[in-house]
Structure 1
């Protein structure tokens, strides 16, 4: 199993409930294919550097997971088919990125506890 990180941007016209449903849909897609979700972060509504599909803002979401390589094709096909997804990027993490991600997760968890 490899460790991956995917960031996707959802259209800003969604309600919070619709955004959470969409994120849950992709998490379920991953777990159904045998992936192990390590971390999920919702970065919220952010301004983009340039307009995409005439939209200047979007809901940013990050999911870290361990999966087999064939799961990535299924996930990205799901992103392409969903009209709520503006952009997405999935990256395979090397050993240094995995260490950095663990540090970031721990730091993020400490902030939430405080």
Structure 2
């Protein structure tokens, strides 16, 4: 199955720690045999409302195909990580994927 995950990382971290956090999750996906199709760093954006006393958040998005059991474990990992202030994972179908143009250079 194919999924899209959006992470909001606390902006109080340095840019290197933010990159290490995203690399940690990329490695987690790869180790657990997920096929990472695309990932993108959207940067720091103003939140519509405060989340855990943060007015800004650092956004990152992943598109990948994985076993549904991995999604459950990934959600638990996000919930336990204090650096992640919000996340959302949705299942996407082939029609939605046809709107995106992914290339190998887009992945870290």
Whichever structure has more helix as a proportion of its residues is 1
Equivalent residue number for residue 57 of structure 1: 56
The structure whose Rg is larger is 1
Equivalent residue number for residue 75 of structure 1: 74
Give the deviation of 1:6 after TM superposition.
0.2
Once the two structures are superposed, the pairs formed by residues 78-89 of structure 1 within 5 Å of their partners are 78-89=77-88
Give the deviation of 1:101 after TM superposition.
2.4
Separation in 2, partners of 1:100, 1:8: 21
Unaligned runs of 5+ in 2: none
CA deviation digits over 1:29-66, x for unaligned, max 9?
11111101010100000001111111110100001101
Separation in 2, partners of 1:62, 1:84: 15
Equivalent residue number for residue 28 of structure 2: 29
Equivalent residue number for residue 98 of structure 1: 97
Separation in 2, partners of 1:48, 1:94: 28
Unaligned runs of 5+ in 1: 110-114
CA-based RMSD of the aligned residues comes to: 1.2
Separation in 2, partners of 1:80, 1:100: 30
Give the deviation of 1:95 after TM superposition.
2.0
CA deviation digits over 1:78-114, x for unaligned, max 9?
1011100000000100122111223xx46xx7xxxxx
TM-score (norm 2): 0.91
Aligned residues: 104
TM-score (norm 1): 0.87
